[in-house]
Structure 1
Amino acid sequence: MSNLAGKSAVVAAGAKNLGGLISTTLGERGVNVAVHYNSPATESDADKTVAQVEGSGAKAVKVQGDLTVPGNVEKLFDAAIDAFGSVDIAVNTVGKVLRKPIMETTEDEYDSMFDINSKAAYFFLQQAGRKLADGGSVTTIVTALLAAFTDGYSTYAGAKSPVEHFTRAAAKEFMARGINVNNVGPGPMDTPFFYGQETPERVEFHKSQAMGGRLTNIEDIAPFVVFLADEGHWITGQTIFANGGYTTR
């Protein structure tokens, strides 16, 4: 039996893609999951993920909210506590990608990118620190671009960069309660979010930079999140670049 069985988790953007897989993977290990989704557009995905978690024998609840509003982050954690009694694991997969030159980026685009990728991450960490049970685990999904440069992603990489510092600070602040806090930085991921930003030629280049000549799959990343919440609990304050060698350090 998993060491995680009977624990409870919050997964931000947990309805589909990587977040959905993390939700269902945790459910398979007996973890109750609060599946967050942003808007009615992804509610049906949340319903499917909730059903899959419940099909594994764990409990699940869906929670909607725009997490760029700090009050909604608090409501997400409170909903999980109301449903399960406590929260032990917090995973933030919220993100938005934009590839656009600095000279063409609008103020609204800049604000949106930092609200989604940076502000939401900060207040997610804050609520995790306030609401997680002692011995808990927090993981934020960041990007391989924190360790590499690819042109056009100034607001994406720029907005994810502060999360490394937030994580180091939170790891120290939460340490006395036995809560580990980490980031996982995937390479370019084989999801719809990536392809909308790139030409076919650039996609092939990105593939060529990683082991096996392929993009990162969501199945490559979910096990790291589970590991950090379980056997890897001694790891804290770190960014783990799981990208098949897309970046090397």
Structure 2
Amino acid sequence: MDIQNTQRVAVVTGASGGIGRAVAERLARDGMPVVVHYAGNAARAEETVASITAGGGRAVAARADVADAAQVQALFDTAEEAFGGVDVVVHTAGVLRLAPVAEQDLDALDDLLRTNVRGTFAVAQQAARRVRDGGAVVTFSTSVVKLAFPGYAGYAASKGAVDALTPVLARELRGRDITVNSVAPGPTATPLFLEGKDQETIDRLAAQPPLGRLGLPEDIAESVAFLAGPGRWINGQTVYANGGIV
């Protein structure tokens, strides 16, 4: 497939808000029709669709539990039915549960692992089967895997699994000109990240990168757009988009 002359179609999970929405809007500005996935908030997903269409792009919203294989398959069906195929898959959907190891509720850990590990695997599985030659897959990790913030053990463990899966998938897709990479954001000013943090904590985290601020969803979206577009010689990597914090 000539990726320069063929319109590419994107599926973005978790695109109803935060980083996922910024990614969906950024890929739409590159001319990609986008399937805006959401888990539960249909109104916010439709806001993302409206934002894309207002800018002259094309988008549809689709609901799925990313850990349910049949629902993920239906999500990819939506992309093929609406836009003719799938070329770019960006999997931002995930959950965050914080607790020290000694206090971690194991049922809550099971829920986190179901979404973050099984969900990533289910989306990656459909991507491996259905992304057209010349495409790109971008999973989402976290800089916390290296930063080792107390309270983040379960979350970091789930994203460590993403770090392990990503290069294996890249090698399994040998011969199809499909890149597979992971983006690992650092502290980023999203509602999910800011929730429950006092201003002192936010200020301390913002001071850690040499650039002296928290990341913005748009910063992460630019990294994704590069990997999904011109960054064809980056493959099987985890890219740390964190302003230099590690």
- TM-score scaled by structure 1? 0.93
Alignment-derived partner of residue 210 in structure 1: 209
Aligned length: 244
C-alpha distance in 1, partners of 2:234/2:223? 11
Match of 1:105 in 2: 104
Find the residue that maps to 1:213 and give its secondary structure. Answer: coil
- Write the distance in 1 (CA, Å) between the matches of 2:185 and 2:6: 26
How far the C-alpha of 1:191 sits from its partner, in A, is 1.0
What is the aligned partner in structure 1 of residue 115 from structure 2? Answer: 116
Q: Check 1:88–1:165 CA distance in 2 against 1; reply closer, same or farther (3 A cut).
A: same
CA gap of 1:4–1:229, structure 2 versus 1, over 3 A, is farther
* 1:220 Cα deviation from its structure 2 partner: 0.9
- Residue 127 (structure 1) aligns with: 126
Q: Which amino acid aligns with 1:142?
A: S
- For 1:140, the equivalent position in structure 2 comes to 139
Q: What pairs with 1:70-81 in structure 2 (closer than 5 Å)?
A: 70-81=69-80
Residue 197 of structure 1 deviates from its aligned partner by 4.5
Tell me the secondary structure at the aligned position of residue 67 of structure 1: coil
Partners in 1 of 2:6 and 2:43 — Cα distance? 26
Percent of matched pairs sharing the same residue: 36
1:238 equivalent in alignment to 2:237 = yes
Give the counterpart letter for 1:132 in structure 2: V
Are 1:4 and 1:29, in contact at CA under 8 Å, matched by a contact in 2? Answer: no
Q: Where does residue 227 of structure 1 map in the other structure?
A: 226
Query: Following the alignment from structure 2 to structure 1, what is the Cα–Cα distance between the partners of residues 24 and 128?
Result: 20
Contact 1:18 1:93 in 2 (8 A): yes
Report the residue type matching 1:59 in the other structure.
R
Per the alignment, residue 152 of structure 2 pairs with 153
Shift of 1:118: 1.1
* Alpha-carbon contact 2:143-2:240 (below 8 Å) kept: yes
Runs of 4+ in 1 over 4 A off after TM superposition: 2-5
CA contact (8 A) 2:94 2:115 kept: yes
Q: Is there any run of 5+ residues in structure 2 with no aligned partner, and where?
A: none
- Which deviates further from its counterpart, 80-89 or 103-112? 103-112
Report if the CA contact (8 A) 1:137-1:180 is conserved: yes
Q: Answer whether contact 1:4 1:230 (CA < 8 A) is retained.
A: no
Q: Aligned-pair RMSD on alpha carbons?
A: 1.6
Secondary structure, counterpart of 1:177 in structure 2: coil
1:202-226 per-residue CA deviation (whole Å, 9 max, x = no partner) reads: 3222112112321111111101111
Distance 1:209 1:202 in 2: 11
* Conserved? CA contact 2:140–2:183, under 8 Å: yes
The one-letter code matched in structure 2 to 1:66 is: D
Distance 1:31 1:152 in 2: 38
Q: Is the 8 A contact 1:15 1:37 kept in 2?
A: yes
Letter aligned with residue 128 of structure 2: G
1:174-196 deviations in Å (ceiling 9; x for gaps): 12111100001111111111122
Deviation at 1:122, TM superposition (A): 1.0
Look up the SS of the partner of 1:147 in the other structure.
helix
